[in-house]
Amino acid sequence: MRPVVLISGASRGIGAATAKLLAAQNYSVCVNYRRDEKAALKLVAEITALGGTAYMHKADVSIESEVIELFDAAEANLGPISHLVNNAGILFPQAPLVDIEVERFNKIMMSNVTSCFLCSREFIRRIKTHGAIVNVSSGASQTGSPFEYIDYAASKGAMDTLTKGLSLEVASKGIRVNAVRPGFIYTDMHADGGEAGRVDRLAPQIPMQRGGTPTEVANAIAWLLSDAASYVTGSFIDVAGGK
């Protein structure tokens, strides 16, 4: 029986790369998306064309009722969910904290942290045997992203704390909880932040002198989900080129 993985925010970037990689590794994949149905359809078509199994479902994972519906639908179409990747997240244009409105700050927290909490809780409530969760945090949780994305960084710091605490709560139940912290990765999210070429601008400051790819992050996620990481929980992998 194939393992079943649910990936939130999977229609693009790191989420899409992870979906493709896990499908190639014989996972059945639930592709969650919030807005971009066209991208989700394309991703599912690519996976199925290569012999994989994928199902897509629209849901805002910061809303409790939609998370429950997402898990219900994924189980009905793919079977019991054994793995979870909390990848959904948003980013707003660069700004210092003094210029950030409370509405923006709260939206970041709901989208990036509440979504992780809700999906993790639903996963734990339903799982019957061993399983694994990987949270997609960010190197920003360590740097604070001053003058640019301090609200985003704060949300990822909260995700790091949730990862550590939850890993300790569920370790005895056979559920592993880990996180990856991507650094400067070539994804569309930088355009959301108002600077599509941000990775190229900052590449000289990275010890490896280059930005990373979504697939490089996906490789770390896949390892943490796999049995090869069976004794790893409450841990973080920085995928950041040494930064």
Task: Please list, in sequence order, all residues whose beta carbon lies within 8 angstroms of the beta carbon of residue 107, skipping any fewer than 6 positions away.
Answer: 90
Angle at 47 between CA 45 and CA 52, to 5 degrees: 125
CA pair distance 25, 228, nearest whole angstrom: 13
Q: What angle do CA 65, 71, 76 make, to 5 degrees?
A: 125
Catalytic site includes residue 149: no
- Show the tokens assigned to 192: 């959301």
Catalytic residue, candidates 27, 55, 152, 186:
152
Rounded to an integer, what distance in angstroms lies between the CA atom of residue 176 and that of residue 161? 15
**DSSP one-letter code for 93:** -
Q: In what order do the strands lie in the sheet with 53-58?
A: 53-58, 28-33, 4-7, 83-86, 131-136, 175-182, 236-239
Q: Which residues are tagged catalytic?
A: 152
